Structure 1
Amino acid sequence: MKFAPSVGVKFHEDGSVRRFPGNTFICHVDPSLDLINELAWAQEQLKAMKCGFKFSYLPIESMHMTVFEGVCDQIRLAEKWTSNLALDVPLSETTDYFAKAVSNLGAHQGFEMVYDYVHNCQIGGSAIRIKPANEETKQALAHCREELRKATGISMPDFDDYHFHITLSYRVIELEEHEKAELKATTDRIAERISQSFGILKHRAVEFCTFDDMFEFKPMLTLA
């Protein structure tokens, strides 16, 4: 049995979450939307696979779209850290710094997103890729991300190529070839339904969140 790269970092071998603290800027999916039921259905399809036990699944109440990545305590690399603070400062100091730095950015909300496709990541799990529904949202997201980059001093290597998404699962154990085929067939079925039911997802305000692990993101302040 070969474990995925996430084991020993974000997850234990049994799929339970491992302590992996950090901070991030996200939009939670409004729990009152019908889309939540569709995301729950998609997860049930994945869990029902014969290889479904090889994944860990994001709790439905934590469904979100990352707008801008913050920092993770266990990833102390210059290209994934803020240039405004030393690499060895406590995580709590970065959180306090970011909260103060973004407190005057004003409102960032109302982003309208539509379905793009279901993505099975080679080093991760399955996610629903989404994209701006119109040019207004495209420009608003770009503006928001640029403001956050300047305020936080974080400039991730994939900044210009970042793909917005809603994570469904994280792979814990590597798949055999026949299991990869099962996953593809399942996500193809999910894509067929979600592409028709997704509609337009309108987000509420961007939240600056802290997290202790990959299953819960705790809002500290909103950009509103």
Structure 2
Amino acid sequence: MVNLTKVKFKENGDFNHFPGNTIVANLYGNEEVMKLVEIIQTEYRKLPFIDKFTLTPQGSIHMTVIELLCDRNRLSEYWSKDLSLELPIDEVSDYFAEKLPIFPLTDEKLVMRTTAMGSQNILVEPADTKTADRLAEIREYVSEHAGVRFPNHDNYQFHISVGYLRENLTEEEEALFSEVKEKLSRILLEKLPTISINRVDYTVFDDMTRFTPYVEKINKI
């Protein structure tokens, strides 16, 4: 697989042009989530090795429901079986919009449970059987209609990215970071035990700074 971290960012940590499409629940409008994201990112900024991270912009906070395609990752196992590997990404996005007419999904009332703080993200899982079954249903629908089924399809880890680690940490840095993550995990479980989701969108992006619902992009044209 292509090392996506290397192509998502410039050497100085700024975001590179990295177009694609995906299915997400945007969470930047969720006040409870954003309060915790601010707490987490504030702790990250205190790290003496913060220059190894690029923090997720506020307008990009989301939970991926199922990954679709990235222009810079044109390997068959990470592409649609129904599309040429050479098809321009804009044409791919338009094709998916036709194949996935159910989006946006609104009033889904999905509930995710926070489980721990990862290195770059808040780890979450379905909080109940109803949510687990609905997420599985959405993922199967998208996989079938878009022709996309990644190697991790059956064991995908749901998460909310708060930053991107661009360089490996040293052993000493890892030890310090482990303490920070343990502290943040306790805060998460106390202050944000569950997250409610009521909208899931088919989105397009030019880089990691914004995941725009396809319907909104079309309405602006």
In the superposition, the TM-score normalised over structure 1's length comes to 0.90
2:195 is paired with a residue whose SS is strand
How many angstroms apart in 1 are the aligned matches of 2:91 and 2:33?
36
How many angstroms apart in 1 are the aligned matches of 2:206 and 2:57?
14
For 1:17, the equivalent position in structure 2 comes to 15
- Pick one of 175, 185, 189 that aligns with 1:181: 175
Following superposition, the deviation at residue 35 of structure 1 comes to 2.2
Cα separation, partners in 2 of 1:97 and 1:189, compared to 1, 3 Å: same
Residue 170 (structure 1) aligned with residue 164 (structure 2): yes
Does the 8 Å CA contact 2:23/2:68 hold for their aligned counterparts? yes
Q: Give 1:60-139 correspondences, 5 Å limit.
A: 60-104=58-102, 107=105, 109-120=108-119, 126-139=120-133
Q: Give 1:141-160 correspondences, 5 Å limit.
A: 141-160=135-154
Following superposition, the deviation at residue 219 of structure 1 comes to 1.1
The runs of 5 or more residues in structure 1 that have no matched partner are 121-125
For 1:190, the equivalent position in structure 2 comes to 184
How many angstroms apart in 1 are the aligned matches of 2:98 and 2:83?
14
Which moved further from structure 2: 88-97 or 6-15? 6-15
Identity among equivalent positions (%) equals 29
- Pick one of 206, 212, 215 that aligns with 1:218: 212
How many angstroms apart in 1 are the aligned matches of 2:172 and 2:103?
49
The runs of 5 or more residues in structure 2 that have no matched partner are 217-221
1:171-222 C-alpha deviation (Å, 9 max, x unpaired) = 1222111111111111111111111111321112211111111121111139
Q: Give 1:194-213 correspondences, 5 Å limit.
A: 194-213=188-207
In the superposition, the TM-score normalised over structure 2's length comes to 0.91
Where in structure 1 do 4 or more consecutive aligned residues deviate above 3 Å?
Answer: 5-8, 104-108
1:221 is paired with a residue whose SS is helix
Which moved further from structure 2: 192-201 or 29-38? 29-38
Q: What is the CA RMSD across the aligned residues, in angstroms?
A: 1.6
Following superposition, the deviation at residue 23 of structure 1 comes to 0.4
For 2:35, the equivalent position in structure 1 comes to 37
Following superposition, the deviation at residue 104 of structure 1 comes to 4.0
Does the 8 Å CA contact 2:104/2:200 hold for their aligned counterparts? no
1:33-89 C-alpha deviation (Å, 9 max, x unpaired) = 222111111111011111112100001221100001010001111110001111111
2:38 is paired with a residue whose SS is helix
How many angstroms apart in 1 are the aligned matches of 2:9 and 2:28?
26
Does the 8 Å CA contact 1:7/1:13 hold for their aligned counterparts? no
Does the 8 Å CA contact 1:209/1:217 hold for their aligned counterparts? yes
